[in-house]
A = this chain, B = another copy of it.
Amino acid sequence: MEHLQAMRGLAPKDFKSDTKPVWCPGCGHFSVLAAITKALAELSLPREQVAVVSGIGCSSRIPAYTSVYGFHGVHGRALPTATGLKLARPDMTVLVTGGDGDGFSIGGNHFLHACRRNVDMTYIVMDNQVYGMTKGQASPTTDAEWDGSKLTPDGPCIEPFPPLKIALAAGANFIARGSSSDPNDLARLIVDGVRHPGFSVIQVLSPCVTFRPEQKEWKKKVRTACVDYTDDPARAARRLMTDDGFNFGKVLFKGTRPAFVPECSDVPCAIPELESGFAV
Protein backbone atom coordinates (compact mmCIF):
# COMPACT_ATOMS: atom_id res chain seq x y z
CA MET A 1 0.00 0.00 0.00
CA GLU A 2 2.76 2.44 0.96
CA HIS A 3 4.43 1.78 -2.32
CA LEU A 4 1.34 2.74 -4.22
CA GLN A 5 0.97 5.91 -2.21
CA ALA A 6 4.55 6.85 -2.86
CA MET A 7 3.88 6.55 -6.56
CA ARG A 8 0.87 8.77 -6.29
CA GLY A 9 2.62 11.40 -4.23
CA LEU A 10 3.43 11.71 -0.55
CA ALA A 11 4.21 8.78 1.72
CA PRO A 12 2.97 8.56 5.31
CA LYS A 13 6.32 9.77 6.61
CA ASP A 14 5.89 12.96 4.61
CA PHE A 15 2.95 13.79 6.81
CA LYS A 16 5.06 13.54 9.97
CA SER A 17 6.76 16.62 11.37
CA ASP A 18 10.23 16.71 12.97
CA THR A 19 8.83 17.50 16.40
CA LYS A 20 9.41 14.69 18.88
CA PRO A 21 6.22 13.64 20.68
CA VAL A 22 6.11 14.27 24.43
CA TRP A 23 4.22 11.01 24.89
CA CYS A 24 5.26 8.20 27.23
CA PRO A 25 6.88 5.23 25.53
CA GLY A 26 4.14 2.77 24.63
CA CYS A 27 1.33 5.32 24.59
CA GLY A 28 -1.46 4.36 22.20
CA HIS A 29 -1.44 7.81 20.63
CA PHE A 30 1.70 6.92 18.63
CA SER A 31 -0.29 4.45 16.57
CA VAL A 32 -3.08 6.93 16.03
CA LEU A 33 -0.58 9.40 14.69
CA ALA A 34 0.74 6.69 12.37
CA ALA A 35 -2.78 5.89 11.22
CA ILE A 36 -3.50 9.53 10.47
CA THR A 37 -0.37 9.97 8.38
CA LYS A 38 -1.14 6.73 6.56
CA ALA A 39 -4.67 7.88 5.86
CA LEU A 40 -3.49 11.24 4.55
CA ALA A 41 -1.07 9.49 2.21
CA GLU A 42 -3.81 7.16 1.08
CA LEU A 43 -6.08 10.11 0.40
CA SER A 44 -3.26 11.69 -1.68
CA LEU A 45 -4.04 15.08 -0.28
CA PRO A 46 -1.58 17.94 -0.73
CA ARG A 47 -0.20 18.87 2.70
CA GLU A 48 -1.35 22.46 2.44
CA GLN A 49 -4.95 21.43 1.89
CA VAL A 50 -5.23 19.57 5.19
CA ALA A 51 -5.62 20.97 8.68
CA VAL A 52 -5.53 19.04 11.94
CA VAL A 53 -7.26 20.85 14.78
CA SER A 54 -7.20 19.94 18.47
CA GLY A 55 -7.80 21.08 22.02
CA ILE A 56 -5.58 20.22 24.98
CA GLY A 57 -4.45 16.81 26.26
CA CYS A 58 -1.82 14.25 25.36
CA SER A 59 -3.95 13.20 22.39
CA SER A 60 -4.49 16.82 21.43
CA ARG A 61 -0.78 17.20 20.74
CA ILE A 62 -1.16 15.48 17.38
CA PRO A 63 -1.29 18.59 15.13
CA ALA A 64 2.31 19.54 15.88
CA TYR A 65 3.45 16.03 14.98
CA THR A 66 2.00 16.23 11.50
CA SER A 67 3.40 18.29 8.64
CA VAL A 68 0.06 19.71 7.51
CA TYR A 69 -1.55 22.89 8.81
CA GLY A 70 -2.29 22.48 12.49
CA PHE A 71 -4.16 24.25 15.24
CA HIS A 72 -3.58 23.43 18.91
CA GLY A 73 -6.30 25.42 20.60
CA VAL A 74 -7.74 25.44 24.08
CA HIS A 75 -9.12 22.58 26.13
CA GLY A 76 -12.47 21.32 24.91
CA ARG A 77 -12.90 23.67 21.97
CA ALA A 78 -11.40 21.73 19.08
CA LEU A 79 -14.76 21.13 17.42
CA PRO A 80 -15.90 24.76 17.24
CA THR A 81 -12.46 25.83 16.04
CA ALA A 82 -12.57 23.21 13.32
CA THR A 83 -16.17 24.13 12.50
CA GLY A 84 -15.20 27.75 11.94
CA LEU A 85 -12.26 26.75 9.78
CA LYS A 86 -14.27 24.38 7.62
CA LEU A 87 -17.19 26.76 7.16
CA ALA A 88 -14.90 29.63 6.22
CA ARG A 89 -12.63 27.44 4.10
CA PRO A 90 -14.72 24.65 2.59
CA ASP A 91 -11.80 23.72 0.34
CA MET A 92 -9.72 22.47 3.28
CA THR A 93 -9.87 18.89 4.56
CA VAL A 94 -10.32 19.17 8.29
CA LEU A 95 -9.43 16.52 10.86
CA VAL A 96 -10.08 17.01 14.56
CA THR A 97 -8.09 15.05 17.12
CA GLY A 98 -8.47 14.86 20.86
CA GLY A 99 -9.12 12.82 23.95
CA ASP A 100 -12.06 11.61 25.96
CA GLY A 101 -11.62 14.42 28.48
CA ASP A 102 -11.26 17.14 25.90
CA GLY A 103 -14.14 15.84 23.81
CA PHE A 104 -16.67 14.45 26.25
CA SER A 105 -16.08 16.31 29.50
CA ILE A 106 -15.31 19.98 28.95
CA GLY A 107 -16.10 19.68 25.24
CA GLY A 108 -19.33 17.70 25.60
CA ASN A 109 -21.63 20.46 24.40
CA HIS A 110 -19.68 21.03 21.21
CA PHE A 111 -19.66 17.29 20.60
CA LEU A 112 -23.46 17.20 20.80
CA HIS A 113 -23.85 20.16 18.51
CA ALA A 114 -21.22 19.02 16.03
CA CYS A 115 -23.08 15.73 15.61
CA ARG A 116 -26.25 17.68 15.05
CA ARG A 117 -24.79 20.39 12.79
CA ASN A 118 -23.06 17.88 10.51
CA VAL A 119 -20.22 19.99 9.15
CA ASP A 120 -17.94 18.01 6.85
CA MET A 121 -14.99 17.05 9.06
CA THR A 122 -13.58 13.97 10.75
CA TYR A 123 -13.31 13.73 14.52
CA ILE A 124 -10.82 11.20 15.91
CA VAL A 125 -11.21 10.79 19.67
CA MET A 126 -8.46 8.87 21.41
CA ASP A 127 -10.34 7.30 24.27
CA ASN A 128 -8.13 6.10 27.12
CA GLN A 129 -10.75 6.58 29.80
CA VAL A 130 -8.51 8.97 31.67
CA TYR A 131 -7.07 12.48 31.65
CA GLY A 132 -3.52 11.58 30.73
CA MET A 133 -2.08 15.07 30.46
CA THR A 134 -3.06 16.12 33.97
CA LYS A 135 -1.65 12.92 35.43
CA GLY A 136 -4.51 10.55 35.66
CA GLN A 137 -8.01 11.62 36.66
CA ALA A 138 -11.28 9.94 35.75
CA SER A 139 -12.83 11.02 32.47
CA PRO A 140 -16.46 10.64 31.37
CA THR A 141 -15.65 7.23 29.89
CA THR A 142 -13.97 5.90 33.03
CA ASP A 143 -15.58 3.01 34.88
CA ALA A 144 -17.53 3.98 37.96
CA GLU A 145 -15.28 1.88 40.18
CA TRP A 146 -11.84 2.95 38.94
CA ASP A 147 -10.04 4.14 42.06
CA GLY A 148 -6.70 5.07 40.56
CA SER A 149 -7.06 8.83 40.92
CA LYS A 150 -6.37 10.83 44.06
CA LEU A 151 -9.17 13.14 43.02
CA THR A 152 -11.73 10.35 43.20
CA PRO A 153 -10.08 7.86 45.54
CA ASP A 154 -13.24 5.79 45.78
CA GLY A 155 -13.84 5.89 42.07
CA PRO A 156 -15.90 8.43 40.15
CA CYS A 157 -19.04 6.48 41.13
CA ILE A 158 -20.80 7.56 37.95
CA GLU A 159 -21.73 5.35 35.03
CA PRO A 160 -19.43 5.90 32.07
CA PHE A 161 -20.58 8.04 29.19
CA PRO A 162 -21.36 6.10 25.99
CA PRO A 163 -19.92 8.37 23.29
CA LEU A 164 -21.19 6.54 20.25
CA LYS A 165 -24.72 6.20 21.63
CA ILE A 166 -24.75 9.91 22.30
CA ALA A 167 -23.36 10.60 18.85
CA LEU A 168 -26.14 8.57 17.30
CA ALA A 169 -28.85 10.19 19.41
CA ALA A 170 -27.46 13.63 18.57
CA GLY A 171 -27.67 12.90 14.87
CA ALA A 172 -24.13 11.99 13.82
CA ASN A 173 -24.07 10.45 10.38
CA PHE A 174 -20.85 8.50 10.40
CA ILE A 175 -19.98 6.58 13.54
CA ALA A 176 -17.06 4.19 13.83
CA ARG A 177 -14.71 2.66 16.36
CA GLY A 178 -11.05 1.93 15.85
CA SER A 179 -8.21 0.76 17.99
CA SER A 180 -4.62 1.89 18.27
CA SER A 181 -3.68 -1.78 18.22
CA ASP A 182 -4.46 -1.87 14.51
CA PRO A 183 -3.27 1.35 12.87
CA ASN A 184 -3.79 0.03 9.34
CA ASP A 185 -7.36 -0.65 10.07
CA LEU A 186 -7.72 2.71 11.75
CA ALA A 187 -6.17 4.40 8.73
CA ARG A 188 -8.85 2.80 6.60
CA LEU A 189 -11.59 4.10 8.89
CA ILE A 190 -10.10 7.58 8.77
CA VAL A 191 -10.00 7.51 4.99
CA ASP A 192 -13.61 6.42 4.98
CA GLY A 193 -14.51 9.17 7.44
CA VAL A 194 -12.79 11.88 5.44
CA ARG A 195 -14.54 10.75 2.29
CA HIS A 196 -17.91 10.75 4.03
CA PRO A 197 -19.63 14.06 3.38
CA GLY A 198 -20.55 15.48 6.78
CA PHE A 199 -19.39 14.95 10.32
CA SER A 200 -17.64 11.63 11.07
CA VAL A 201 -16.88 10.41 14.57
CA ILE A 202 -14.23 7.79 15.13
CA GLN A 203 -13.72 6.65 18.68
CA VAL A 204 -10.27 5.08 19.02
CA LEU A 205 -9.32 2.85 21.93
CA SER A 206 -5.86 4.20 22.68
CA PRO A 207 -4.31 3.03 25.95
CA CYS A 208 -2.71 5.34 28.50
CA VAL A 209 0.10 3.06 29.59
CA THR A 210 1.16 5.38 32.39
CA PHE A 211 -2.05 6.06 34.27
CA ARG A 212 -4.11 3.10 33.10
CA PRO A 213 -1.42 0.40 32.71
CA GLU A 214 -4.16 -2.24 32.76
CA GLN A 215 -5.19 -0.95 29.33
CA LYS A 216 -2.16 -2.69 27.90
CA GLU A 217 -4.46 -5.73 28.00
CA TRP A 218 -6.87 -4.07 25.58
CA LYS A 219 -5.08 -5.49 22.60
CA LYS A 220 -6.20 -8.90 23.81
CA LYS A 221 -9.79 -7.81 24.37
CA VAL A 222 -10.52 -5.94 21.17
CA ARG A 223 -12.02 -7.78 18.24
CA THR A 224 -12.85 -6.78 14.73
CA ALA A 225 -16.56 -6.18 14.45
CA CYS A 226 -18.19 -8.88 12.38
CA VAL A 227 -20.95 -6.91 10.72
CA ASP A 228 -20.65 -3.95 8.48
CA TYR A 229 -22.43 -0.64 8.91
CA THR A 230 -26.11 0.02 8.77
CA ASP A 231 -27.88 3.12 7.57
CA ASP A 232 -30.80 2.48 9.87
CA PRO A 233 -30.48 4.44 13.11
CA ALA A 234 -32.78 2.03 14.95
CA ARG A 235 -30.61 -0.92 14.06
CA ALA A 236 -27.46 1.03 14.94
CA ALA A 237 -29.01 1.91 18.29
CA ARG A 238 -29.76 -1.76 18.98
CA ARG A 239 -26.21 -2.70 18.14
CA LEU A 240 -24.80 -0.07 20.41
CA MET A 241 -27.07 -1.25 23.22
CA THR A 242 -25.46 -4.65 23.23
CA ASP A 243 -21.97 -3.45 22.40
CA ASP A 244 -19.29 -4.04 25.05
CA GLY A 245 -17.07 -1.30 23.69
CA PHE A 246 -14.42 -3.55 22.23
CA ASN A 247 -15.74 -4.13 18.73
CA PHE A 248 -13.70 -2.07 16.35
CA GLY A 249 -12.58 -1.64 12.81
CA LYS A 250 -15.95 -1.18 11.22
CA VAL A 251 -18.19 1.74 10.60
CA LEU A 252 -21.30 1.25 12.73
CA PHE A 253 -23.60 3.75 11.20
CA LYS A 254 -23.66 5.84 8.07
CA GLY A 255 -26.52 8.18 7.29
CA THR A 256 -27.26 10.29 4.29
CA ARG A 257 -28.10 13.65 5.82
CA PRO A 258 -26.42 16.36 3.71
CA ALA A 259 -23.54 18.25 5.28
CA PHE A 260 -24.28 21.68 6.72
CA VAL A 261 -23.20 24.53 4.48
CA PRO A 262 -24.20 28.06 5.44
CA GLU A 263 -26.29 30.14 3.08
CA CYS A 264 -24.09 32.38 1.02
CA SER A 265 -24.62 34.14 -2.28
CA ASP A 266 -22.68 32.85 -5.27
CA VAL A 267 -22.73 36.27 -6.89
CA PRO A 268 -21.70 38.62 -4.12
CA CYS A 269 -23.07 42.12 -4.37
CA ALA A 270 -21.05 45.21 -3.53
CA ILE A 271 -21.38 46.79 -0.11
CA PRO A 272 -22.91 50.06 -1.37
CA GLU A 273 -25.84 48.03 -2.54
CA LEU A 274 -26.46 47.00 1.05
CA GLU A 275 -25.92 50.53 2.26
CA SER A 276 -28.71 51.90 0.13
CA GLY A 277 -31.09 50.46 2.76
CA PHE A 278 -29.98 53.17 5.19
CA ALA A 279 -30.36 56.14 2.87
CA VAL A 280 -33.47 58.29 3.27
Note all chain B residues with C-beta closer than 8 A to A169.
Answer: 162, 165-166, 168-169
Q: Mark A107-118, 1 if CB is under 8 A from B, else 0.
A: 111001100111
The answer to the question of A145 belonging to the interface, with a C-beta cut-off of 8 Å to chain B, is: no
* Interface contact A108-B112, CB-CB below 8 Å: yes
* Interface contact A116-B257, CB-CB below 8 Å: no
* Interface contact A158-B260, CB-CB below 8 Å: yes
> Which residues in window 96-115 of A have CB below 8 A to B?
105-109, 112-113
The answer to the question of A171 belonging to the interface, with a C-beta cut-off of 8 Å to chain B, is: yes
Alpha-carbon separation in the docked complex, A232 to B233 (Å): 18
Note all chain B residues with C-beta closer than 8 A to A237.
Answer: 237, 241
Copies in the complex: 2
The answer to the question of A157 belonging to the interface, with a C-beta cut-off of 8 Å to chain B, is: yes
Which of B116, B166, B257, B260 is in CB contact (< 8 Å) with A112?
Answer: B166
**Distance between A222 CB and nearest chain B CB, rounded to angstroms:** 23
The answer to the question of A135 belonging to the interface, with a C-beta cut-off of 8 Å to chain B, is: no
* Interface contact A166-B170, CB-CB below 8 Å: yes
The answer to the question of A238 belonging to the interface, with a C-beta cut-off of 8 Å to chain B, is: yes
The answer to the question of A229 belonging to the interface, with a C-beta cut-off of 8 Å to chain B, is: no
**Distance between A163 CB and nearest chain B CB, rounded to angstroms:** 10
Q: Bin the interface of chain A by size.
A: 20 to 34
* Interface contact B116-A158, CB-CB below 8 Å: yes
Alpha-carbon separation in the docked complex, A154 to B263 (Å): 8
Alpha-carbon separation in the docked complex, A171 to B126 (Å): 22
> Which residues in window 125-147 of A have CB below 8 A to B?
140
Note all chain B residues with C-beta closer than 8 A to A113.
Answer: 105, 108, 140
Which of B107, B116, B263 is in CB contact (< 8 Å) with A140?
Answer: B116
* Interface contact A158-B118, CB-CB below 8 Å: yes
The answer to the question of A159 belonging to the interface, with a C-beta cut-off of 8 Å to chain B, is: yes
Q: Mark A214-246, 1 if CB is under 8 A from B, else 0.
A: 000000000000000000011001100100000
The answer to the question of A69 belonging to the interface, with a C-beta cut-off of 8 Å to chain B, is: no
Alpha-carbon separation in the docked complex, A157 to B116 (Å): 10
Known: A157-B263, A162-B169. 19 other contacts (CB 8 A): A108-B108, A108-B109, A109-B112, A113-B140, A116-B140, A116-B158, A116-B159, A117-B158, A157-B260, A157-B262, A159-B171, A161-B171, A162-B170, A162-B171, A166-B169, A233-B241, A234-B238, A234-B241, A237-B237
